[in-house]
Structure 1
């Protein structure tokens, strides 16, 4: 079995990766919405706004979790003693994973449906944005597995 130090470092790395994937997805969708020629097409689809919100939620949650994960990795102990942080990790990771998963599904679905109506750069960016969000979901899904091991304080 892997040592607790390696698991803690893996959790930190996965939190950073989740933040980066969600940030890249958010930046790409905002740039696409602001772009002149496709601005009205992309902005008019409310589903892409949900994808934007899912990415923003992933970023916000990752930014909240990052200081706790860094402290845990450096000091090898929790910043706040007790069961609060393990439970917050457990439930928070699950909620954000479901949010990201629904954003991914919606992003791919609307891009696929929109492909029949319009062709071009808008749809490609929709697929890329959803793909980046999918990568963020995968890292968060792995985090849910790792944090579930520590739910009752019996893990690392």
Structure 2
């Protein structure tokens, strides 16, 4: 009976590491997402903090990352000691549900705002080139997609 539990814990460890990696990538992409747009001789600097949905997505990623790192340490501890604290069952169940919903809504907000703002921005502003706008919103889309991939459930 011990080998299936060990392999299940190892799979859980890999999932936790994968979640941490995806959330770190999301935070890096979002925090470096800024662009200077030049239109008719005027330049405007946009940063992810200028869009509320991107701020929410960033906050959700930070909270999810914090939770995932804590759970990673619990998983490593359980794997090393081969014991499971009964409190961890509830933390895994409820914590994973809450964090997965938070991360999923952050991702959905990022997808939605990227689609709407890109189309609206391109329609309202006369630009010399659409490359900077594409860069800004493509990074927002990439980080939203990355967060969606990081959502998982405990076995």
- Secondary structure in structure 2 of the residue aligned to 1:77: coil
Which residue number corresponds to residue 26 of structure 2? 25
Q: Offset of 1:42 from its aligned partner?
A: 3.4
Question: Following TM superposition, by how much is the alpha carbon of 1:44 offset from its aligned partner in structure 2, in angstroms?
Answer: 1.4
Q: Given the alignment, which residue of 91, 111, 114 partners 2:114?
A: 111
1:37 pairs with 2:36: yes
Q: Distance in 1 between matches of 2:74 and 2:48?
A: 37
Superposed CA RMSD in Å reads 1.8
Larger-Rg structure: 2
**Ranges in structure 2 where 5+ consecutive residues have no aligned partner:** 38-44, 123-132
Q: TM-score, normalised by structure 2?
A: 0.81
Q: 1:41 to 1:60 in 2, by over 3 A?
A: closer
Which structure is higher in strand share? 2
The match for 1:128 among 96, 120, 142 is 142
Counterpart among 42, 45, 59 of residue 53 in structure 1: 59
Q: 1:43: how far off?
A: 2.5
1:23-60 deviation per Cα after TM superposition (whole angstroms, max 9, x unaligned): 1001110011xx35164253311110000001101110
SS in 1 for 2:91: helix
Q: How do residues 52-71 of structure 1 correspond to structure 2 at under 5 angstroms? A: 52-71=58-77
**In structure 1, what is the Cα distance between the partners aligned to 2:67 and 2:48?**
26
1-structure distance, mates of 2:27, 2:74 = 23
The aligned length equals 136
Unpaired runs of at least 5, structure 1: 147-156
